[in-house]
């Protein structure tokens, strides 16, 4: 079967079983984004999950409807034809998915906004590495900060290209994400997100210059001037990649 919309079908049955066993799904409402030909879907259903799948490709939706017609009839499986970056997503407990590479960032941020118990997600390895990069290191970026602010993230295992069909040109990494409250108090999540976005839009500049050139929806000139007058020079003269989670919270919490 031909892959559509940047999908690579997982064909390694051992890997499929490992992914399905990384989180308890029995009796849980499990969201699967990009089910493709249904290999992981079947493993989840066999483990007692109630799966809601969102698939962008209409042809694959037809395949999935035929493959899981019995589960559709029983209500154990529901299928939604749509784009997971923007379509309505019903309530769910856990998310287990082989995400399309091109939409990984948007989908991850959206899932964190919605909230869930736990997620097991597969990413391009380079993306996963950036997600778990420690704050205060050169590898750290907006993705690292936003995910680690609101969740505990743990890489589980890597998969080579031969685990998929067609073979991607990169390795993939399975990651477990468990949401939690921020370690450091965040007064306004929208403002915090705008601050992080503004700082990493110009990561080679100092924090002072990043904020002066910011255009975030909540970063008004008045607010920026207040921040510049209250922050210590230690933060203002640093580059965003040198900041820690506490520093981002300190900036965003200035009223």
Reported as half-sphere exposure (CB side, CA atoms, 13 A), residue 133 has a value of 21
Is 113 part of a structural domain of the chain? Answer: yes
Q: Name the 3-class secondary structure at 61.
A: helix
174 and 51, same structural domain?
yes
- Predicted confidence at residue 202, as pLDDT, reads 86
Whole-number Å distance between alpha carbons of 100 and 98: 7
- Report whether 12 contacts 39 (CB < 8 A): no
Is 212 part of a structural domain of the chain? Answer: yes
- Predicted confidence at residue 1, as pLDDT, reads 47
Whole-number Å distance between alpha carbons of 131 and 35: 23
Q: What phi-psi label fits residue 211: left (phi over 0), alpha (psi between -120 and 50 degrees) or beta?
A: alpha
229: which 2 tokens?
A: 């007058």
Whole-number Å distance between alpha carbons of 130 and 144: 6
- Predicted confidence at residue 214, as pLDDT, reads 84
- Predicted confidence at residue 215, as pLDDT, reads 67
- Predicted confidence at residue 255, as pLDDT, reads 78
Whole-number Å distance between alpha carbons of 113 and 105: 12
Is 197 part of a structural domain of the chain? Answer: yes
Rounded to two decimals, the pTM is 0.91
CATH code assigned at 238: 1.10.8
CATH code assigned at 34: 3.40.50.150
Which residues make Cβ contacts (< 8 Å) with residue 246, sequence separation at least 6? 183, 184
Domain that holds residue 131: 9-179
The residue from 179, 209, 244 where one domain ends is: 179
Report residue 55: phi and psi, to 5°: -125, 130
Give the β-pairing of 151-159 and 118-124: unpaired
Sign of the torsion angle spanned by Cα atoms 52, 24, 18, 169 = positive
- Predicted confidence at residue 216, as pLDDT, reads 64
Nearest to 148 by CA among 118, 182, 108: 182
- Predicted confidence at residue 106, as pLDDT, reads 95
- Predicted confidence at residue 2, as pLDDT, reads 47
Domains in the chain, number: 2
Q: Which residues of the chain have pLDDT under 70?
A: 1-6, 215-216
């Amino acid at each position: 079967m031909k892959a559509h919309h940047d999908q690579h079908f997982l064909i390694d049955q051992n890997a499929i079983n490992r992914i399905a066993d990384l989180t308890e799904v029995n009796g849980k409402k499990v969201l699967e984004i990009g089910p493709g030909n249904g290999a992981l879907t079947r493993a989840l259903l066999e483990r007692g999950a109630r799966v809601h799948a969102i698939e962008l490709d209409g042809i694959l939706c037809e395949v999935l409807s035929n493959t899981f017609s019995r589960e559709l009839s029983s209500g154990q499986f529901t299928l939604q034809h749509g784009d997971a970056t923007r379509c309505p997503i019903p309530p769910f407990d856990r998310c287990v998915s082989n995400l399309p590479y091109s939409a990984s960032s948007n989908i991850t941020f959206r899932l964190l906004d919605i909230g869930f118990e736990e997620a097991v997600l597969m990413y391009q390895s380079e993306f996963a590495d950036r997600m778990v990069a420690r704050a205060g290191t050169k590898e750290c970026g907006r993705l690292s900060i936003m995910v680690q602010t609101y969740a505990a993230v743990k890489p589980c295992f890597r998969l080579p290209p031969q685990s998929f069909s067609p073979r991607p040109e990169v390795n993939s990494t399975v990651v477990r994400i468990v949401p939690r409250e921020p370690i450091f108090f965040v007064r306004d999540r929208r403002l915090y997100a705008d601050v992080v976005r503004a700082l990493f839009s110009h990561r080679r500049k100092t924090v002072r210059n990043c904020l002066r050139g910011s255009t975030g929806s909540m970063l008004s000139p008045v607010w920026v001037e207040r921040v510049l007058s209250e922050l210590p020079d230690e933060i203002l003269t640093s580059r965003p990649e040198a900041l820690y989670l506490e520093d981002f919270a300190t900036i965003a919490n200035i009223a």
